[in-house]
């Protein structure tokens, strides 16, 4: 059973997340031959204050 975790900054719409899950699932099925019903996709929305690049939080920029 393949598990895929997608971490991204919050702010995407429900439709964008739905489309992402469908396409990620399709890619896993196509590349691994896994059964579609066994592919699990986790979406983790990250707050801008919990993400930093170059020593600066995105929320501070």
* Architecture of the CATH domain 3-60: 2-Layer Sandwich (3.30)
pLDDT tens profile 24-61: 999 999 999 999 999 999 999 999 999 999 999 999 98
pLDDT attached to residue 2: 97
pLDDT attached to residue 28: 98
Task: Give the integer Cα–Cα distance in Å for 51 and 58.
Answer: 6
Q: Could you tell me which residues come within 8 angstroms of residue 38 by beta carbon, excluding any fewer than 6 positions away? A: 1, 2
Structural domain boundaries of the chain?
A: 3-60
pTM: 0.86
CB 24 within 8 A of CB 41: yes
Active site residues: 2
pLDDT attached to residue 15: 98
Q: Strands 52-53 and 56-57: what pairing? A: antiparallel
pLDDT attached to residue 16: 98
């Amino acid at each position: 059973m393949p598990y895929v975790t997608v971490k991204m900054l919050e702010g995407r719409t429900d439709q964008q997340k739905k489309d992402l899950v469908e396409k990620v699932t399709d890619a896993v099925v196509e590349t691994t031959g896994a059964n579609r019903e066994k592919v699990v996709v986790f979406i983790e929305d990250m707050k801008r204050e919990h993400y930093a690049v170059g020593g600066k939080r995105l929320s501070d920029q």
